[in-house]
Amino acid sequence: MNRSFLRFCALSGILAITTAIASADQAECEATVRAIMAPYGENAPEQQLNRFGTSVTKFGEHEMRGYSLQTAEGSLYFDADKNPASLSFVNGDVYTSMDQGKTWTLANSTPKEVMETVIAGIVSQAEKATNITCEYGVDLNGKTVNHYAVDYEVYNTGTPTRSEYWVDAETGFVWRDTMHSKGDPEMFVTVDAEPAPDMTLPDPKS
């Protein structure tokens, strides 16, 4: 048999295997990113570590700095002086405080069916996301992380948006995440966080 033909067959086989591996890797990459975007149902993490860190929001010529605590039950936002300002729960209840967290006032209570619609929208948003990329073993301030990037349209507005995540390769903890909403005006949000296992959300009714 012609040696050139044998060499061609061998190279074709290697190319096919390489292509299959690349396709599998990309599929795993996309599944990981979609799960980060919509951590519900089968995508819900077995353990969610509390995150506390800085939050910087820029829109137009304005910039707002603060701090946020994110837990499996909801999130607590602090102003630039670390005074508790707003409290949100995954059931749709949102509270605000005018006295540095001493008392809380219910600002909005979203019905269950509306929350279910919101979650369905976020899942759809993740499923339709494009341009998903994954870089593994990236350095972030001395920590080894995986870097993920994704483009999508916000489900209820259609606003083109790009998000990036810097995720601990072993624990899945998100050390940093950014969002660039390309609306008018454009908005940039950056959160740099640390694990906060001892921090909890306040009880607004106490």
- What average pLDDT is seen over the chain? 89
d(CA 64, CA 59): 9
Q: ∠ CA(20), CA(22), CA(137), 5° rounding?
A: 150
- For residue 178, the SS3 value is strand
Lookup: tokens for 36: 């980060």
Number of domains in the chain: 1
Q: Is residue 13 part of a domain?
A: no
In a domain, 118, yes or no: yes
Instruction: Please check whether residue 167 is in contact with residue 191, taking contact to mean a CB–CB distance below 8 angstroms.
Output: no
Residue 68 neighbours by CB under 8 Å, 6+ apart? 51, 52, 53, 55, 75, 76, 77, 78, 191, 193
**Tell me, what CATH number does 99's domain have?**
2.50.20
Is position 31 within any domain?
A: no
Which alpha helices (DSSP H) does 44-137 contain, by range?
Answer: 112-127
pLDDT band at residue 23 using 50, 70 and 90 as cut-offs: low
Q: Supply the range of the domain harboring residue 68.
A: 36-195
Residue range 151-177, pLDDT digits in tens: 999 999 999 999 999 999 888 999 999
Residue 24 pLDDT exceeds 60: no
Q: How far is CA 19 from the centre of its chain?
A: 29
Name the percent of the chain lying above pLDDT 90.
77
74-113, pLDDT tens digit by residue?
A: 999 999 999 999 999 999 999 999 999 999 999 999 999 9
What DSSP character marks residue 42?
G
pLDDT recorded at residue 206: 85
Query: Has residue 204 been placed in a domain?
Result: no
* Model pTM score: 0.84
62 assigned to some structural domain? yes
The verdict on residue 26 lying in a domain is: no
Residue 161 lies in a domain: yes
What percent of the residues of the chain are helix, what percent strand, and what percent coil, each to the nearest 5? 25, 40, 30
- Whether residue 16 is predicted with pLDDT greater than 50 in this model: the reply is no
